[in-house]
Structure formats: structure tokens, C-alpha cells
Amino acid sequence: MKIYTRTGDAGQTGVIGGRVDKDDDRVEAYGTTDELNCFVGQAMSFMDPQLYPDLLPDLLQVQHELFDCGSDLALLKPELRPYKVTAAMVDALEAWIDKYDQETPDITRFILPGGGKVSSTLHVCRTVCRRAERLVVTLARTQEINPEVRRYLNRLSDFFFTVARTANFREGVPDVEYVRSAEVFRRKS
């Protein structure tokens, strides 16, 4: 099988159920989830397996689920097959957020992106995830989508924030608080 097909040379690409322009909102949305998936892989490549035996498999699962998001977003005609992203996937993210959040110290102020290499890359994942979510919102204004993809991406960005803090904590790197911030967060109960 050849990698190149030449079918996109005129500026269109195939989606599930037809062809669209390469700058279509649908392509922008699933293309950004693919970009996010690349950054997740990069973050994983920086992780010491001894320090992250739990987070590495969770991030691998996220990578598979981001492919599911992309597949659902590429579905031009929802009647062609069932959606892949489910509410259960969002519930699982919430459980992971709660688990990893228990490791980190309380925060009361906004946190600046950064710290160690792993944390910094996970913050990049968070912001690319937010961009993907915004693009999905734009797409949903004019075309039918799986609403669970939007929910998943919303929760996933919270997951990335949480595990970025977890990475700093595990590596002994303090989070950097935004010094001009008032106290805006409540302590964990």
C-alpha cells in the first residue's frame, strides 16, 4: 500500500460519508485532536516509567480515545455507524482527575504553565485540548456531532491540568503560582 493517494491534491479530503474541503470545520476539529494526540505521545516520551507506572497506561488509553474522537468528528453522516465516544469515557476521566488530584497540594491561586518537562508538555496538551474543544463547538453550530466528544474534550483538559500538577509534584518541582492572582480556589475537602 502506498502512503500517498493524490486524492487530496485539489484541496479536499475524505471523511466518513463523503468528501469535504481540507479547511472545513470538521477537518479543523479532528485535525486538532490529532495534533493533541501527538503532544500526548511527546509527554509520554519524557516520562520515567518508574515514576509514572499508572499515568503512562492512562495516557495511552487517552491516545486511543482521541482517535475515537477524531473518528466521530470525521463522521459526516451519523446514520452510517454508531458513535464511539461515550458518557462512560467522560466518567472515567472524572475518576482519574479525582485520583490524581489527591496527590497534589491544595491550590488557591491560578497556576502558570511550566515546571518540569513532563508538566510543561502536559500543559501544552491542556491548551491544545481547549482549542480542539472550541473547534468542536464551532462545528456543532452548523453540523451534527456526537455531543459526548465535546464533553470528553472539556473534561480531558481538566485531566491534563491535574496530571501536569501531579507530574511536578512527583518530580519535586513546585507549581508556579500566578503572583497577581487573588485566592480563587477553595481548598480540597
- Which domains does the chain possess? 13-177 (1.20.1200.10)
Q: pLDDT digit string (tens) for 69-83?
A: 999 999 998 899 999
Radius of gyration of the chain (CA): 18
pTM, entire model: 0.93
Q: Which tens digit of pLDDT belongs to each residue from 85-118?
A: 999 999 999 999 999 999 999 988 889 999 999 9
Residue 52: what residue type? Y
For residue 91, what are the CA distances in angstroms to 44, 86, 150?
23, 9, 14
The rounded percent of the chain whose pLDDT value lies above 70 is 98
